[in-house]
Amino acid sequence: MSSQATASAEPNYFEVTKGFKSWALTLDHKRIGLMYLFGILFSLLLGGAFALLVRTELMMPGETISSADTYNKFFTLHGAVMIFLVIIPGIPAALGNIMLPIQLGAPDVAFPKLNLSSFYLWCTGAACLLLSIVMGSVDTGWTFYTPYSLDESKSGAIIPAVFGVFLLGFSSIFTGLNFLVTVHKFRPQGMGWFQMPLNLWALYATALMQVLATPVLGITVLLLFVEHTLHIGIFDPTLGGDPVLFQHFFWFYSHPAVYIMIVPAMGVVSELMTTFTRKPIFGYRFIAYSSVSLALLSFLVWGHHMFVSGQSPLANMVFSALTFTVGIPSAIKVFNWVGTLYKGDIRLQTPMLYALSFIIMFTIGGLTGLFLAILATDVHLHDTYFVVAHFHYVMMGSALVAFLGALHYWWPKFTGRMYPERLAQVCSIGVFVGFNLTFLPQFVMGSRGMPRRYWDYDPEFTIYHQLSTVGAFILGVSLFVVVCYLMVSFKKGRKAPKNPWGGTTLEWDAPSPPTLYNFPEPPVIHELYDYDDIVEDGDNGWVRKPRPAGAPPKEKH
């Protein structure tokens, strides 16, 4: 086809320029996204290493490998690295950055310089966060609750850490802002809001939350920063400040942050479900609306993190009631995904395996969230392992698994290489088994009363902890293998065809890897999720059948 001829004529974005400077100062969204991706994968291994240290320490009651102090630093670093460096930027900043303009058929994001500067903000923030490890490590938990985090003897580590979080926050805001404007202003003619792939809807909703919620994190950690440097006292009870106010500030951001993690994951899963069932997503509009409504509702529910913090009963009641509302769009999405499977032509390639794991684990994560939204049961379960298991199901079992699915799905597109399919399938099952083995026992020990962030525990919980640790190692090994084979395939993988999965969105019309401005010639906008014209063509992947001349244009849904 002519497009292939053009693709070979124009160099792809790896080849167009060379050298360190061409990467360090690049304005190309794909290169920036790729640099993010490597940073995030590195952080993932780092955060995973801390997780394994935590789990190893908990193998036995009492001291196993580390003292209580060191253990506290492990779980703090695990949380901070995983949340601020891996999951929040994971899908939007890395994969979103690469795929959003291509899915829009645009040459780049709206503000390429801002994009590069937000990458460097991320790097600086990450460096500050890592600097705090050298400076003695933070042991406050990733939540930095006052007044514990006001302890001056720990200022040396807390100051770089909160400063790092501040920078990471602004990196996230700028990425979000960029995406919002790109979606608004760079949709090509013929792509209305309801012709956008669901991934873009999800990224749009995510960006909305990033722009509206993250500034509050910025000011909160800034205040924590001045508490340490200037002793300003807004959160310090000895100076008349209110430590619970910190929790309000913190959760005003950090609850939407949970949705910043999960909503893009939902977008990715929607794409995977339709591509690998070879049929349009069931209930497109409901999914699109539920992404946006999740984004808006996420601002109304932060108080459910504070049911036992001394919050007023009135606030507890209101927040509990509002919390249930987020369950509804989530439930809609799950039902729609399952509905998409119906009468499909389901291909169990690696991305789809991750998508199916996502559905199951997100269902568990969502349903266990109900226990925590109900006042009477949350009082019992709050700050126990039940909560730990619940949010790992959502953040890791769902968000990170979707990230892996997306990574495998688009890997051939932006690297131009295939990963080893069989190994990847085995690993995805390893992730699923390891993950569930790690966290299912935690529900039980949580509801039986095992508090979280405990270095030592009662012997009755030993068996659960041991199961959990074994699961964590299965999970850790699987993830490590994933990162390894991806790195190898980056250089040595089989050359990828233009459309290896038969996707219908615009990125599959771009060459693999894409050229500097993504499309050598303007892409044609096709009906969204229309699989009729796409056929399998051996090693060339999937190709678009030319429409017979004079055929009537397809009706849009």
Cβ distance to other proteins smaller for residue 74 or 249: 249
> Dihedral, CA atoms, 371, 372, 378, 383, nearest 10 degrees?
120
Q: Tell me how far CA of residue 410 lies from CA of 102, 335, 351, 503, 521, in angstroms.
A: 11, 25, 9, 10, 21
> Is residue 464 a contact residue for other proteins (CB under 8 A)?
no
- Six-digit token pair at 532? 């009729």
Rounded least distance, CB 33 to other proteins, Å: 16
Query: How far is residue 70's CA from residue 388's CA, in Å, rounded to a whole number?
Result: 20
Q: How many CA atoms lie within 13 A of 67 on its CB side?
A: 3
> Is residue 15 a contact residue for other proteins (CB under 8 A)?
no
Give the SS3 label for residue 534: strand
Which of residues 232, 292, 423, 483 is near other proteins by CB under 8 A? 232
The DSSP code for 298 is: G
Q: How far, in whole angstroms, is CA 284 from its chain's centroid?
A: 22
Rounded least distance, CB 46 to other proteins, Å: 22
> Is residue 451 a contact residue for other proteins (CB under 8 A)?
yes
> Is residue 60 a contact residue for other proteins (CB under 8 A)?
no
Q: Which residues have C-beta within 8 Å of that of residue 236, sequence separation ≥ 6?
A: 146, 147, 150, 227, 243
> Is residue 415 a contact residue for other proteins (CB under 8 A)?
no
The DSSP-derived string for 64-122 is SSS-HHHHHHHHHHHHHIIIIIIIHHIIIIIIIHHHHHHHHT-SS-S-HHHHHHHHHHH
Residue pair 304/323 in contact (Cβ under 8 Å)? The answer is: yes
Which of residues 3, 449, 483, 485 is near other proteins by CB under 8 A? 449
> Is residue 525 a contact residue for other proteins (CB under 8 A)?
no
Rounded least distance, CB 183 to other proteins, Å: 10
- Six-digit token pair at 206? 């995510």
- Please give the residues from 118 up to 177 whose contact with other proteins meets the rule CB under 8 A: 139-141, 145, 147-148, 151, 153, 173, 177
Rounded least distance, CB 490 to other proteins, Å: 25
> Is residue 107 a contact residue for other proteins (CB under 8 A)?
yes
> Is residue 468 a contact residue for other proteins (CB under 8 A)?
no
Cβ distance to other proteins smaller for residue 550 or 555: 555
Q: Which residues have C-beta within 8 Å of that of residue 334, sequence separation ≥ 6?
A: 359, 362, 363, 366
Cβ distance to other proteins smaller for residue 49 or 344: 344
Q: Tell me how far CA of residue 202 lies from CA of 110, 305, 351, 441, 481, in angstroms.
A: 18, 24, 18, 32, 29
Query: How far is residue 525's CA from residue 509's CA, in Å, rounded to a whole number?
Result: 10
- Six-digit token pair at 157? 């580590």
Q: How far, in whole angstroms, is CA 63 from its chain's centroid?
A: 33
Query: How far is residue 48's CA from residue 79's CA, in Å, rounded to a whole number?
Result: 10
> Is residue 438 a contact residue for other proteins (CB under 8 A)?
no
Which of residues 34, 40, 110, 268 is near other proteins by CB under 8 A? 110
> Is residue 2 a contact residue for other proteins (CB under 8 A)?
no
> Is residue 315 a contact residue for other proteins (CB under 8 A)?
yes
Give the SS3 label for residue 191: coil
- Please give the residues from 324 up to 353 whose contact with other proteins meets the rule CB under 8 A: 324-325, 327-328, 331-332, 334-336, 338-339, 341-348, 353
Q: Tell me how far CA of residue 151 lies from CA of 131, 133, 285, 319, 455, in angstroms.
A: 19, 17, 50, 31, 21
Which of residues 3, 117, 124, 377 is near other proteins by CB under 8 A? 377
Query: How far is residue 527's CA from residue 553's CA, in Å, rounded to a whole number?
Result: 9
> Is residue 380 a contact residue for other proteins (CB under 8 A)?
yes
Cβ distance to other proteins smaller for residue 219 or 487: 219
> Is residue 243 a contact residue for other proteins (CB under 8 A)?
yes
> Is residue 452 a contact residue for other proteins (CB under 8 A)?
yes
> Is residue 420 a contact residue for other proteins (CB under 8 A)?
no
- Please give the residues from 181 up to 220 whose contact with other proteins meets the rule CB under 8 A: 181, 184-189, 191-193, 211-216, 218-220
> Is residue 7 a contact residue for other proteins (CB under 8 A)?
no
- Please give the residues from 252 up to 271 whose contact with other proteins meets the rule CB under 8 A: 252
Rounded least distance, CB 194 to other proteins, Å: 11
Cβ distance to other proteins smaller for residue 230 or 549: 230
> Is residue 383 a contact residue for other proteins (CB under 8 A)?
yes
CB atoms within 10 A of CB 236: 17
> Is residue 284 a contact residue for other proteins (CB under 8 A)?
yes
Rounded least distance, CB 133 to other proteins, Å: 18
Cβ distance to other proteins smaller for residue 45 or 346: 346
